[in-house]
């Protein structure tokens, strides 16, 4: 392989002697399979990365010093992520910079930080770089490069594909169908604007209006199980499902996780989670989900994407989950971790503008489009508050619409204090959206103020909805017991007056997270009366693995 084709390890440090030293140590260990590039400052390093991008080179790892005069290491890594989002990242710090290192891990998702000096490199440098390269090979090098998505800003289908790619951290570039280059590509493929969204591969093959399973395949995501039978099948990739995947696979269970869209669930769409243990500066839901997914895969769990479940069947010791396309996957034990979805806003006009200014959850792909705009956020819980803070960094104004009389009953106090301190966020209580207006995209909404008994038309370009989450459990009808709202009943809730649930076959009571079907467990938000917090969902996922172990041992 020519030197220019080798994956790159780039180092940047404004101290020339340190820069030369780390490049020397890296070449000593990695020169046969990697090209080591060094830069003496952030600006020079960005220029080097831009040149590598133009040449079509691959960048596996970035090692940046924190204290540099033109731009610090965190600023550099933020810019570098735009060019090579899958490159793994490490920050080099002096002992006094430990706080900055922790901030970098949380804010820009740095994988490691190293304290200078790193002598001996065999103990302090090479293990870190080995981990970076291993992670890159697992998540980056196998991904096809150069996916191009041609779509329209106000196309619902285009938004769905774009959001799917973004939430799965797939490498792609967005091109507006109005761009002349996009028009040329469509014409060359014999397509037109009527065929958008169009996904174009690195080889130039165009796929018109692909479904998400096709998009997943083009992005290199796994959609089909590698085996016919598993010890543990997890349905849902939110915090509970990811927690179970990590613990199940690490404890030797043949584990597969399936999800309809992307790992992370609702938490994965949170712009910043600030009350999760171990992240004092907060962490985005996407970063947390990506780390958990990589951790599960490292232990041997399979993660399948774009698989919609349609039924659960029980045949003796075998539990079969059927997919909407007619295929299925079987296991000895199943964990239901499908979480919840936001309730649809019943106002006229909302459904017509879905994906064209109206969104459920925090659509991060729309952040740039919200610059200098008026953004509306509907909801009074933490997810709505986090979204309001996130969009306030770009929007000219954010209005948080709350049906109740205050935020105190539904939102964490730290978030209420943050919102109060941001001048561009307006909180309107006793307020609901009663109609959405717009032809091609959202232009305005009508608000009803129940306290004042009045209605008002408010102009806005974006409406993000976070209201009354409902479980996704219709596919369990007739198989697993649920409460009137559709949440799955488990453990003590199934035993009434000493009587076990109807159809229960085991010679014992259901365990704490076990459903009305032995060997089928539930964890996280989908479970009736669960605590709606990320930490509790992760804990329940881990606990479900322990209970599944006991079930497997007795069966």
Q: What is the pLDDT of residue 1?
A: 45
Q: How wide is the angle at C-alpha 307 spanned by C-alphas 304 and 308, nearest 5°? A: 145
Question: So where are the chain's domains?
Answer: 3-139, 147-218, 229-341+470-554, 351-465
Answer yes or no: same fold for 229-341+470-554 and 351-465.
Answer: yes
Measured CA distances, 484 to 187, 320, 338, 371, 429 (Å): 53, 25, 17, 42, 29
Q: Is the pLDDT of residue 98 over 60?
A: no
* CATH code, 3-139: 3.40.50.2300
Q: What is the pLDDT of residue 104?
A: 56
Cβ contacts of 193 within 8 Å, gap of 6 or more: 152, 177, 186
Q: Is residue 438 very low, low, confident or very high in pLDDT (cuts 50, 70, 90)?
A: very high
Mean of the pLDDT values across residues 74-86? 84
Q: What is the pLDDT of residue 277?
A: 85
Q: How far apart are CA 128 and CA 124, in angstroms?
A: 7
Are 476 and 482 in contact, with CB atoms under 8 Å apart?
A: yes
DSSP structural state of residue 281: T
From edge to edge, which strands make up the β-sheet containing 147-151? 172-176, 147-151, 198-200, 206-208
Closest CA to 516 of 535, 501, 498: 501
Are 61 and 88 in contact, with CB atoms under 8 Å apart?
A: yes
Q: Is the pLDDT of residue 485 over 60?
A: yes
What angle, 0 to 180 degrees and rounded to 10, lies between the N-to-C axes of helices 126-139 and 285-298? 100
Highest mean pLDDT, choosing among 73-87, 255-269, 313-327: 313-327
Superfamily of domain 147-218: Glutaredoxin (3.40.30.10)
Ordered DSSP codes for 479-504: TS-B-TTSPBP-GGGG-BTTBPPTT-
Mean of the pLDDT values across residues 415-423? 94
Mean of the pLDDT values across residues 132-142? 72
Q: Is the pLDDT of residue 287 over 80?
A: no
Mean of the pLDDT values across residues 91-114? 66
* CATH code, 229-341+470-554: 3.50.50.60
Which range among 129-143, 247-261, 311-325 shows the weakest confidence by mean pLDDT? Answer: 129-143
Q: Which CATH architecture has domain 351-465?
A: 3-Layer(bba) Sandwich (3.50)
Are 197 and 209 in contact, with CB atoms under 8 Å apart?
A: yes
Mean of the pLDDT values across residues 534-555? 95
β-pairing, 470-471 with 397-401? unpaired
Chain center to CA of 130? 25
pTM: 0.77
Q: Is residue 379 very low, low, confident or very high in pLDDT (cuts 50, 70, 90)?
A: very high
**Between residues 390 and 362, the one the model is more confident about:** 390
Which range among 42-51, 361-370, 469-478, 489-498 shows the weakest confidence by mean pLDDT? Answer: 361-370
Mean of the pLDDT values across residues 286-305? 90
**Between residues 469 and 21, the one the model is more confident about:** 21
Q: Is the pLDDT of residue 4 over 70?
A: no
- The distance between the two most distant Cα atoms of the chain, rounded to a whole number of Å, is 76
**Between residues 78 and 382, the one the model is more confident about:** 382
Which range among 86-90, 169-173, 337-341 shows the weakest confidence by mean pLDDT? Answer: 169-173
Q: Is the pLDDT of residue 269 over 50?
A: yes
Q: What is the pLDDT of residue 144?
A: 47
Are 103 and 51 in contact, with CB atoms under 8 Å apart?
A: no
Q: What is the pLDDT of residue 142?
A: 46
Q: What is the pLDDT of residue 45?
A: 92
pLDDT tens-place string over residues 494-536: 998 888 988 898 999 999 999 999 999 999 999 999 988 899 9
Closest CA to 429 of 378, 489, 361: 378
pLDDT tens-place string over residues 333-358: 999 999 998 889 999 999 999 999 99
Mean pLDDT, the chain, rounded, equals 89
Which range among 2-11, 108-117, 390-399 shows the weakest confidence by mean pLDDT? Answer: 108-117
Q: What is the pLDDT of residue 302?
A: 97
Structure-token pair, residue 405: 């009389």
């Amino acid at each position: 392989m020519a030197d220019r084709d080798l994956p790159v390890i780039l180092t940047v440090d404004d101290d020339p002697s340190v820069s030369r030293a780390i490049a020397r140590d890296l070449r000593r260990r990695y020169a046969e399979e990697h090209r080591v590039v060094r830069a003496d400052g952030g600006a020079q390093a960005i220029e080097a990365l831009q040149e590598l991008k133009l040449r079509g080179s691959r960048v596996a790892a970035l090692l940046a010093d924190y204290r540099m005069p033109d731009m610090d290491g965190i600023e550099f890594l933020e810019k570098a992520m735009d060019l090579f989002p899958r490159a793994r990242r490490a920050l080099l710090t002096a002992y006094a910079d430990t706080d900055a290192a922790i901030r970098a891990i949380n804010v820009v998702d740095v994988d490691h930080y190293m304290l200078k000096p790193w002598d001996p490199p065999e103990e302090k440098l090479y293990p870190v770089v080995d981990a970076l390269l291993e992670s890159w090979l697992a998540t980056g090098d196998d991904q096809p490069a150069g996916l191009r998505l041609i779509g329209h800003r106000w196309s619902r289908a285009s938004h769905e594909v774009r959001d799917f790619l973004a939430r799965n951290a797939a490498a792609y570039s967005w091109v507006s169908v109005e761009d002349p280059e996009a028009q040329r590509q469509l014409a060359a493929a014999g397509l037109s604007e009527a065929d958008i969204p169009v996904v174009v591969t690195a080889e130039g093959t165009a796929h018109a209006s692909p479904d998400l399973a096709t998009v997943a395949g083009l992005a290199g995501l796994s959609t089909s199980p590698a085996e016919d039978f598993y010890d543990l099948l997890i349905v849902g990739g939110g915090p509970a499902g990811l927690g179970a995947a990590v613990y199940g696979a690490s404890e030797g269970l043949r584990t597969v996780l399936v999800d309809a869209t992307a790992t992370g669930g609702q938490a994965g769409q949170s712009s910043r989670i600030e009350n999760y243990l171990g992240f004092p500066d907060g962490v985005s839901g996407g970063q947390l989900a990506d780390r958990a997914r990589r951790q599960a895969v490292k232990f041997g769990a399979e993660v399948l994407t774009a698989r919609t479940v349609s039924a659960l069947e029980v045949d003796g010791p075998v539990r079969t989950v059927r997919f909407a396309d007619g295929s299925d996957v079987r296991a000895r034990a199943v964990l239901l971790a499908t979480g919840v979805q936001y309730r649809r806003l019943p106002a006229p006009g909302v459904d017509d503008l879905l994906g064209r200014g109206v969104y459920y959850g925090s659509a991060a792909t729309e952040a740039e489009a919200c610059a200098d705009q008026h953004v509306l956020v509907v909801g009074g819980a933490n997810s709505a508050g986090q979204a309001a803070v996130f969009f306030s960094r770009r929007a000219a104004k954010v209005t948080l619409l709350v049906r109740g009389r205050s935020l105190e009953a539904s939102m964490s106090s730290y978030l209420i204090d943050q919102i109060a301190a941001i001048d561009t966020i307006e909180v309107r209580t006793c307020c609901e959206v009663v109609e959405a207006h717009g032809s091609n995209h959202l232009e305005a909404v009508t608000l009803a103020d129940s306290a004042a008994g009045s209605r008002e038309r408010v102009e806005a370009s974006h409406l993000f909805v976070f209201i009354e989450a409902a479980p996704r459990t219709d596919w369990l009808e007739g198989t697993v017991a649920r409460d009137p709202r559709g949440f799955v009943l488990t453990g003590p809730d199934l035993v009434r007056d000493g009587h076990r649930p109807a159809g229960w076959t085991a010679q014992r009571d259901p365990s704490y997270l076990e459903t009305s079907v032995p060997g089928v467990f539930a964890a996280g938000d989908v479970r009736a009366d669960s605590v709606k917090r990320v930490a509790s969902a992760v804990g329940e996922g881990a606990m479900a693995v322990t209970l599944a172990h006991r079930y497997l041992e007795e069966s």
